[in-house]
Structure 1
Amino acid sequence: MRLFDTHCHFDFDIFQGDFDAQLKSANAQGVSRFVVPSIGSSNWAQVQQMAAEHASIYFALGIHPYFLHQQSIDELPTLKELLNQRGNQCVAVGECGLDAMVEVDMVLQEKVFIEQVALATYYQLPLILHCRKTHNRMVQILKQERFQYGGILHGFSGSYQQAMQFIELGFYIGVGGVITYPRANKTRQAIVSLPIEKLVLETDSPDMPLNGYQGKPNHPKMIGEILACLASLKGMSRQTIAEIVWKNSNSAFGICE
């Protein structure tokens, strides 16, 4: 079966010792496509280079709210220029969004997020959304900006109602390691109720380790275990789920299967 990790930071230092071996270990588990979102200007060049060297790797360009600083405003013209010059492997704007759990001024967060939504609209690209404790405000902004190109709500850990707000705006829901934790009952129940046609799989490697792997770096090769958990929750076969989420993942990013 073909698996797609729609959100992994495969460019981070922890994977760089022998990247070809890291990639092969994921491929051995059936993971044949990856999207590596950037976090800011510090790794825009790196994710582009990684995709240039590996046909199975796609990337997104954006500014993550966690890494925002006052100079981020000045970097937006560079981001626009990079998007203007992008090739086919640049499939989204992101990772971008709002985060109420970090000590970054929310006025600045909203300004930079709105600018990135505008860029995604201008270039007709989907968004990869980072959202912590800001669901309602993010939905409000997306509606206010009349954003129409969908994307993925990354690292979902909310309620059914919250997920449906984003689905109604054209987004897919990124399902990761959180569903492997029995205590994450609200999120697990939401995933059971959400339409499978609107779900995609992700690891957020090296973050968001699965249950039983706490304290260890996460890896794209773990997608199969997230798939198995999703199949169990949904009462469907792994093969059926794999085929559906493969199609969803490519559709979310406008990639030909």
Structure 2
Amino acid sequence: MLIDAHCHLDFEAFDDDRDAMFERARASGVEHFMVPGTTRERWPAVLALGERDDVSISLGLHPYFMHEHAVGDVEALAQALDAHPNVRALGECGIDARFEDTLDDQWELFNAQLRLAKTRQMPVVIHCVHANDKVSKRLRQLDLPAGGLIHAFAGSPDQAWKFLDLGFVVGLGGAVTYERAQRLWRAVKSLPVDGFVLETDSPDMPLCGHQGQRNEPARLAQVCEMVAKLRGETPGAIAAQSTATASRLFDLEGD
């Protein structure tokens, strides 16, 4: 069994074939899906997917969509978290340092969401691009009780372990399938068995050989195979490790 620990199945890219996408995923061994929220406008679609037995969800305000967020969204997020006890985590939130013009606002929004997560003792799903060191420093300052996921990790072994030491795990996806990702490969080899989860970030983060194509959860098996190759383990062992870690992190045992 595989769990796709991060996939945006609410996105419009799946509107034409969402049922078929789920079928392809199940055929490849993916039996559960963790769908994060990105904007207040999309929360209803995420909540609707969360009604499925094979989908768990989180809600948050993503730094990529700063132009879509508005005053009052953090308060609305707090209310949504309180109103929907089936929400497993807060996120996707975080920092994307590629967008320097919104960076100050990103930090303000990120800090506000981290405070919500700490108050509610919820894990956090973090988007962190070109900001691993600054984000890990902030997380250390806050000392979040439930840890979380560093989604789409692409950093060094040292950066990975800084997150692990804070109670977080790292998400491994399509980036591991590229030969140029030597630093990430070293990090993958260094991780403990309970330090990672597998994810696709569908419809984004395409695997090597699928550039320019829509990504989908059925390709998680290929991510699993690559991680297994890097670590010298069997795909079955990697799947079991990732599934156990995702289940623990998001409290999925009862799902």
Is TM more than 0.5 here?
yes
Secondary structure at the residue paired with 1:101? coil
- Secondary structure at 2:163 match in 1: helix
Would you say 1:114 and 2:111 are equivalent positions? yes
Give matches, 1:156-171, under 5 Å. Answer: 156-171=153-168
Distance 1:51 1:104, change over 3 A: farther
1:96-245 residue pairs with structure 2 within 5 A?
Answer: 96-245=93-242
Q: 1:71 to 1:221 in 2, by over 3 A?
A: closer
CA displacement, residues 186-213 of structure 1 (integer Å, 9 cap, x when unaligned): 1011101111221100000111100111
Change (3 A) 1:8 1:104: farther
Q: How far apart are residue 73 of structure 1 and its match?
A: 3.8
Quote the residue 2:62 is aligned against. Answer: 64
TM-score, structure 1 length as denominator? 0.95
Change (3 A) 1:203 1:150: same
Cα drift, residue 71 of structure 1: 5.0
Instruction: Indicate conservation of the 8 Å contact 2:39/2:69, yes or no.
Output: no
Q: How many percent identity over aligned positions?
A: 37
What's 1:48 paired with? 47
- Helix, strand or coil: the match of 2:72? helix
Q: 1:80 aligns with which of 64, 78, 81?
A: 78
2-side partners of 1:159 and 1:73: how far apart?
36
Paired residue type of 1:205: S
- Alignment partner of 1:256 is 2:240: no
Shift of 1:103: 4.4
How far residue 140 of structure 1 moved from its aligned partner, in angstroms, is 1.8
Q: 1: CA distance between counterparts of 2:13 and 2:107?
A: 31
Give the 3 Å change call, closer, same or farther, for CA 176–107 of structure 1 in structure 2: same
Q: Are 1:28 and 2:27 counterparts?
A: yes
Structure 2 alignment gaps of length 5 or more: none
Q: CA deviation at 1:84?
A: 0.5
Distance in 1, Cα, partners of 2:172 & 2:193:
11
Give the superposition deviation at 1:104. Answer: 4.1
Aligned to 1:22, the other structure's residue is in SS state helix
CA contact (8 A) 2:39 2:68 kept: no
The whole-number CA distance in structure 2 between the counterparts of 1:172 and 1:200 is 7
Deviation at 1:70, TM superposition (A): 8.4
Task: Measure the CA separation in 2 of the matches of 1:156 and 1:17.
Answer: 30
CA separation in 2, counterparts of 1:185 and 1:236? 18
Letter in 1 for 2:73: E
Secondary structure of 2:170's counterpart equals strand
- Matched positions, count: 254
SS of the residue corresponding to residue 68 of structure 1 reads: helix
